[in-house]
Structure 1
């Protein structure tokens, strides 16, 4: 037979359980919709998918945290992190000194370089970005690539784009002479399109070799420590290599 004390204790325990569940933190993760195979919108599910999404979910499971993947334009990732709209940035974003001053990056995950595309009938053996002096070129806004090209100068015009798909389209249409963007993403897109009229420049030497990492708001040491611990475990277990292979990045 239940006593009054037992019943009260059960009610209190139940309420504490409800409060604990309600208080469970769900971290908002910002990912772009145009960085296939790293992050992209799957039109079949209407959800963000890709290698960096799988990585984030794997880390969350390992660290026992909850995450909510949300679409954020590339150029809005860092402002969204700074403004508290998202808690974690998980996309094809590399560590740079300028970015490291305003957000806290995790330990590096894997290396990343730039590449350039031109029309297929352009057989010039371009070596560096400077070889495009006097031409109109395109690059994704808010990237380290844009910063480098702007500093280099000498171009007729540098057009900025929201997505790599738009850059590739304008090279195909002849609106720009060349497009600078993420090598893995452009290679992946071209591998899926046999009818493409643009190509990667095989003789081109990247000006940028960076490291992709996750990021949190400046000073969020507790969350950063969880992310770093998760990355280290994924690397040690071989799961990172598995994710890279799944998305054609190895």
Structure 2
């Protein structure tokens, strides 16, 4: 009888403990199957967008995913996700890693783990030439357009309570509101606004105001309880920076070799919570 009870107790112990003990890291799965599934955007130039000639997704983050895959010795599987669906897709196991300009926040960090920084993108106010606005602080008391539901609306209201925010459904409409004089200024992601300026070409009459209202850092995002995978991601980023590959990537998509002509002000692999 005692032997039976002891056996049952041990069996119960193993039922309780085994799931945790048998937890397989995502990194093991990636290496086992020989591929890594990256969730990327296809509507945000130059990070992830459709090449008009090939209809393939290209960009800064697509190249970064492929470089990560090469580092791991596997192939890159590119999966397009929306900004709204990227976290659910990750948490439900349909992605190995988000590489879709997901910016760090303490709230997000409670649900997912972030690697170090792989890009830091600023948000700036944009106005028209001759508007009389010369710096960011000049948006106080003005009508400012933002994308509906964006974190920028409460941020502007907090920093400039006399400004009136006017929301629109998408970045292009928000930008055109200032270009057409319907508002005094807009606040948008710098790269996104620059892409819209480039599309207007000679018809562009907008200028960006310094300093940025905020800077957000983005990194790889993965499911929690994968310490080996997180460590490997950070090792990759540190090596990518040290080898000069990070600067080459930046120059191609954002810097001297791109239409954006931006200057890099961040270190790849640096603390994302700075």
TM bucket, shorter chain: 0.7 to 0.9
TM-score, normalised to structure 1's length? 0.75
| Partner of residue 30, structure 1 | 39
- Residue 7 of structure 2 is matched in structure 1 by none
1:232 equivalent among 224, 229, 238 = 238
Q: Mapping of 1:62-73 within 5 angstroms?
A: 62-73=71-82
Higher relative contact order (CA 8 A, sep 6+): 1
Structure 2 counterparts to residues 200-219 of structure 1, below 5 A: 200-202=207-209, 204-219=210-225
Task: Please say if 1:117 is aligned against 2:126.
Answer: yes
Q: How many residues align?
A: 226
Q: Deviations over 1:164-212 (max 9, x none)?
A: 334323333445443222113323442454234342333x322212322
2: CA distance between counterparts of 1:159 and 1:119? 18
Alignment of 1:48-63 (within 5 A): 48-63=57-72
Alpha-carbon contact 2:144-2:187 (below 8 Å) kept: no
Q: What's the CA shift for 1:141?
A: 4.1
Corresponding residue for 2:145?
Answer: 137
Partner of 1:168: 175
Q: Deviations over 1:60-109 (max 9, x none)?
A: 10111333222222233233323333331113332222222222111112
1:98 aligns with 2:107: yes
Q: Given the alignment of the two structures, is residue 187 of structure 1 paired with residue 194 of structure 2, yes or no?
A: yes
Asked if the contact 1:187–1:200 (Cα under 8 Å) also holds between the matched residues in 2, the reply is no
**Cα distance in 2 between the residues matched to 1:127 and 1:183:** 13
Q: Which residue of 1 aligns with 2:116?
A: 107
Structural RMSD (CA): 2.9
Asked if structure 1 preserves the Cα contact closer than 8 Å seen for 2:131 and 2:184, the reply is no
Residue 77 (1) aligns with residue 83 (2): no
**Contact 1:120 / 1:197 at 8 angstroms: preserved in 2?**
no
For residues 39 and 105 of structure 2, what CA distance do their matches in structure 1 show? Answer: 19
Quick one: distance in 2 between partners of 1:167 and 1:80? 28
Distance 2:220 2:149 in 1: 19
Gaps of 5+ in 2: 1-28, 256-262, 264-274
